[in-house]
Amino acid sequence: MLEQFINPNSSIWLLSLVGLAAIALLVYSANVAVTRLMGLAGYFRLSTTFMGVTVVSLATSIPEITSHFTASVGILTGAVDFKIGSSLVLGANIGSDVVQQTLIMAIVVFIAGTLHFRRYFLAKTMIPMVVTTLMCLVLGWDGIYSRLDGFILFGSFIAYLYYLYRDERKYYKPEDHGFTAEGEVPEGTPQSGKEAWLYALISVVALTVTVASAMLTLSVTEVIVGRTGIGGSLIGVLTLGVASALPELITAVSGIRNGDAGIPLGTLVGSNITNPLVAIGGGALISTYWVPRPLVLWDLPWEALTGTILWIYLWLNKGRIGKKGGIYLVVLYFVYVILRSIFFAVD
């Protein structure tokens, strides 16, 4: 439907400007949805860490999820090329995860000075983060994410969510979220049921704008890929992946500034679980995906490697990471990008 607003004969520069504007709108609308959904999570009395791993990670993964939904519907209707659409959204998804594990985590560390992960957090969230990446690698090794693969991934997320919720009910304390015995409510949390409904309505509108901007981004990028011959997954990794990770960065920095590390830690790690299981799994359930070889030969192995390195580093340092560790993460990101561009530029 949006193709009528895009002239395939326009210059690459004009198409790029349209694509950048669509990405900016994508990030802005996703951030609005994230803010309101965070407030709703507080209204329903969820701890900040649990909220980060589940509700906020889902919200900040809106760009990836909506892009997958849009591409999958487009593939089914024939509006989006099967291989180009698959490579774009998969590249953006996996690229976003690598950006979050390395560059964005490093930025948050530089702002905070030092982050501390509890051993409980490392076991309950970071190990599943690495496992989900390995699942995507194994299931995508044959070059296709089938509907069965999608069911396995999406079903794993539902099971993991249920497990975390049961665990959350055992340890939740309202005061940890900012509620007080005097009845004070954390800033940004709805004060009544009516206000909660308003938050929900704003979230729905923001999500609708996010879907529309994701559709426009995909349409523009498909034209650029067709005219330049650059691998769709590479564009997804280097551009859409970085843009899609911005909501996580915004949310994480906001949490640090408000003196709450639970949200940024939970969001950054939780999104790396949500993106593969919900976005890839849900999209594969709709249309199936073609998996470019660079993703299984480089991107997914590198994502698993960086996640494992981060986990080992934190475990050996008793859950602490400072600016020195942040520098290591930045180096890992640029090594990933440079080698990806040199050896895996074409799908």
DSSP state letters, 113-168: SEEE--HHHIIIIIHHHHHHHHHHHHHTTTSEE-HHHHHHHHHHHHHHHHHHHHHH
Q: What pTM was computed for the model?
A: 0.74
CA atoms within a 13 Å half-sphere pointing along the CA-CB vector of 51: 27
For residues 285 and 150, the answer to whether their CB atoms sit within 8 Å is yes
pLDDT given for residue 136 in this prediction = 95
For residues 253 and 108, the answer to whether their CB atoms sit within 8 Å is yes
3-state secondary structure (DSSP) of residue 327: helix
pLDDT given for residue 280 in this prediction = 94
pLDDT digits (tens, 9 = 90+) for 84-97: 888 888 887 888 78
pLDDT digits (tens, 9 = 90+) for 137-152: 999 999 999 999 999 9
pLDDT given for residue 9 in this prediction = 64
What is the C-alpha to C-alpha distance for residues 92 and 94, in angstroms, rounded to an integer?
A: 6
For residues 86 and 71, the answer to whether their CB atoms sit within 8 Å is yes
**Domain residue limits, the chain:** 12-171+193-343
CATH superfamily of the domain spanning 12-171+193-343: NCX, central ion-binding region (1.20.1420.30)
3-state helix vs strand vs coil in the chain, percent to 5: 80, 5, 15
Q: Which residues, 6 or more positions from 203, have their beta carbon under 8 angstroms from its beta carbon?
A: 32, 33, 36, 37, 40
What is the C-alpha to C-alpha distance for residues 131 and 33, in angstroms, rounded to an integer?
A: 28
Q: Which residues pair with 144 in a beta bridge?
A: 290
Low-confidence stretches of the chain (pLDDT beneath 50): 1-4
For residues 224 and 235, the answer to whether their CB atoms sit within 8 Å is yes
